[in-house]
Chains A and B, each alone.
Chain A
């Protein structure tokens, strides 16, 4: 039977319903939004009528200084978060890569931040960052530093947001890297020890190369989420002070749901989605080929 028509079609009964729903909910809106980018749609003016604008929204996008700023902020946030989370994730998981009591419980506690509601986390960190009553400045005071205006200053606002992202998502890195380290066969180490390798050499020549694929995937998955980051930024800075922490996502939201310029907001998120998809597709192909 394999290869016959019925064999080839059986999968459709299982896949088709989900496929149809997802096409209706993702692809149709995507085409609709391409259409919307060609119009000026302002929900506050003349009842949200579609006024044809041609490529006007795209021209605005290219010349809008806030777009340029937002692209830069997004890139900085992405690089800062990913780099710090990867390094810290590697260090912590290497450190924990040994047998110790309560290891499973420790790991379960460590990943709690991943499951915490981002909005609530953001609000809690806001209280930590409070310039007068916050814990962050108190901790700095213990080592005779600060006080710092964490969220209010041009210099530290983006860093403060990255620190929250690092707090929430480093556990994710640790979880994936630890799972990958656990899957390395014990006899590889033994063989290395017999050959006279020391601790540093096993880390460098056995562990690191074997976990590289997992780390790359973890980085890509983090990139996907970091590019979407909204909740924490919204409750902590709303893009401020000024536009210092305004990512593309935050700006598109502001244009769409503060100014109600839906046509332009759609254009921003459409171009951004295309850029991100191309970038991630390239990265993904690379990660899978390793």
Chain B
């Protein structure tokens, strides 16, 4: 009887894992395919069924980096992401602190304003901005991206951070004020150190979001200021897509973001839910 029950359990466990791994395979197949194709030769890349055993080659990566412009696109992407993230943190964190710490009449309205900035389709501000930047001859530089990416990052920070500031016990603040700290000192010395980790997490989210952004970059960049997502579309040619180099470039673009994503996932779920509920 006992042995039968154990066998049944083991069978149930096996069935669970078969389904669970099948689900995982579906969601990871594009990634696995991209990584393996990036180190396959031209012929192996097209083989069906997909070759699991093959001679790995770095040819595709060499081809991507021997395109003299590719390192420049990396630099462009880095600049745009880091500038906007820095601005998002600089403006967004104090605002999130203000919205979560003080009670005042227009609090809900202001929160909703920041939220609505996330709702509006990017084309809405992109078109008028295009007219302006076109008039002052800044289309084709990185400047419009700095501006528009900043407007993406601030609402993200203001949306996610308040829940972490609310975790800071009010007594700590009050004690510091009784000790004679100013509001700014309380913010900088009491609250900020306690939310350091979540600031890092939300900064990573800003980097991921701007790094992956495509539409704004497509509209505003020229040949020399392209960011990586725009540059990677150039692997679609008239003769068809160059699979190997495309996948190599894709790996260079994506792998850092996925490592980042791995580290921030736990902040992600909580911040999003509470940001949306209490916002």
Contact = CB atoms under 8 A, between A and B. Distances in A.
B49 A138 contact: yes
A127 B45 CA distance: 11
Contacts of B95: 14-15, 17-19
Contacts, number: 251
Contacts of A180: 273
A277 B33 CA distance: 39
Given A18-B91, A256-B123, A26 B26 contact: no
A227 B121 contact: yes
Contact of B214 (A30, A106, A119, A252): A119
A5 B111 CA distance: 22
A113 interface: yes
Contacts of B235: 123
B94 A269 contact: no
A36 B273 contact: no
Interface residues of B, number: 94
Nearest to A23: B113
A53 interface: no
- Size category of the A interface is 35 or more
Contact of A123 (B23, B134, B212, B246): B246
B246 A167 contact: no
Interface stretch (B56-64, B149-157, B195-203): B149-157
12 contacts: A11-B104, A11-B107, A17-B94, A25-B151, A32-B131, A33-B124, A119-B212, A124-B34, A217-B276, A217-B277, A224-B118, A231-B229
Interface of A: 7-8, 10-15, 17-19, 21-22, 25-26, 29-30, 32-33, 36, 41, 43, 48, 92, 95-96, 98, 100, 106-121, 123-128, 133, 135, 138, 167, 170-171, 175-176, 179-180, 213-214, 217, 220-221, 224, 227-228, 230-231, 234-235, 249, 252-253, 256-257, 262, 265-266, 269-270, 272-273, 276-277, 280, 288
Interface of B: 16, 19-20, 23-24, 26-31, 33-34, 46, 48-50, 87, 91-92, 94-95, 97-99, 101-102, 104, 107, 110, 113-114, 116-125, 127-132, 134, 147-148, 150-151, 154-155, 158, 183-184, 187, 208, 211-212, 214-215, 218-219, 228-230, 232-233, 235-236, 241, 243, 246-247, 249-250, 253-254, 257-258, 260-262, 265, 268-270, 272-273, 276-277
Given A15-B98, A124-B34, 8 more contacts: A19-B113, A109-B24, A117-B232, A118-B214, A124-B33, A266-B127, A266-B128, A270-B124
